[in-house]
Amino acid sequence: MPTNKKNIAVILSGSGNQDGSEIHEATLTLWAIHKNGAEYQCYAPDIPQHHVLNHITGKEMDESRNVLIESARIARGNIKNLMEFDQAEHDALVIPGGLGAAKNLSSFALDGTNCEINTDVERAVLQMVQAHKPIGALCIAPVILAKVIDDALITVGQSSEVIEKISAMGAHHETTMQGEVVVDSARKLVTTPCYMLEARVDQIGDSADTLIQEILKLTTTE
């Protein structure tokens, strides 16, 4: 049945804030998309995780996991291989945070300004840029936009170390407090710090809600 609802692609990076997608940010992004009258399709790259961490101790575990399979836990199985991404099927793209964005979707956590972006992630971002469609990123995920998009205006909150690296990659940073978003209208980017700052889960929900509202506004502008 035809629908006029906007469709937002969501790229996940595993399941768990230390080695995958931050589950609160990912889930509340999906909640905010439906709350604001849109639909979503989750994607993840079919690649091994950089590593697996024990989320109680923070120590590395002697096992391997797959980013797509782990992301399916959050998506309840309704997920596609990121290789299948086609911007023509979507009105916007959102990347929740969690260190998976800096370890699996990119190598920022390891290589900083010299990081590499996963090929399928970069392709998806550039497709949206070339189609003049909006992109949102939460928490640490805006570093991906800083690396891929020239002169991007983004926020990761107040981390001086990360801000310095963002600037070195050619992007511009705006300092924010919890719940605030930064909108780069020229490039149709919306970013918010979430757990880059001290936060409660309800504040994450508010941030995701605001980000999605701004994303949807940008889908109506040329």
Mean pLDDT by 10-residue block, N- to C-terminus, for the chain (222 residues)? 82 96 98 98 97 91 95 98 98 98 98 97 98 98 98 97 96 96 98 97 98 96 63
As given in the structure block, the two tokens for residue 69 are 């399979």
Q: Map tokens 């002697």 to a residue.
A: 62
In this structure, the number of other CB atoms found within 10 A of the CB of residue 60 comes to: 12
Give the integer Cα–Cα distance in Å for 40 and 43: 10
Is 81 a member of any domain?
A: yes
* C-alpha closest to that of 138 among 99, 110, 90: 99
- Quick check: 84 and 73 in contact, CB under 8 A? no
What pLDDT is stored for residue 2 in this prediction? 47
Q: Enter the pTM of the model.
A: 0.96
Is 103 a member of any domain?
A: yes
Beta strand residue intervals within 139-206, DSSP E: 153-154, 172-173, 182-184, 189-192
Is 71 a member of any domain?
A: yes
* C-alpha closest to that of 159 among 147, 182, 176: 176
Phi (first) and psi of residue 117, to 5 degrees: -105, 135
Phi (first) and psi of residue 93, to 5 degrees: -135, 135
- Quick check: 216 and 32 in contact, CB under 8 A? no
Is 173 a member of any domain?
A: yes
Is 1 a member of any domain?
A: no
**Residue 121 structural domain:** 7-218
Helices then strands, counting H and E runs in the chain, come out as 8, 9
- Count of domains observed in the chain: 1
What pLDDT is stored for residue 52 in this prediction? 85
Is 152 a member of any domain?
A: yes
What pLDDT is stored for residue 4 in this prediction? 84
The CATH number of whichever domain residue 178 belongs to comes to: 3.40.50.880
What pLDDT is stored for residue 1 in this prediction? 41
What pLDDT is stored for residue 220 in this prediction? 81
Give the list of residues 6+ apart from residue 99 with CB closer than 8 angstroms, or none: 17, 18, 19, 20, 109, 140
Pairing mode, strands 135-138 and 92-95 = parallel
Q: Which of 42, 115, 139, 194 is catalytic?
A: 139
End-to-end, the C-alpha distance of the chain in Å comes to: 27
As given in the structure block, the two tokens for residue 153 are 């205006």
Largest CA distance in the chain: 49
pLDDT digit string, tens, across residues 26-69: 999 999 999 999 999 999 999 999 898 989 998 999 999 999 99
139 is known as an active-site residue: yes
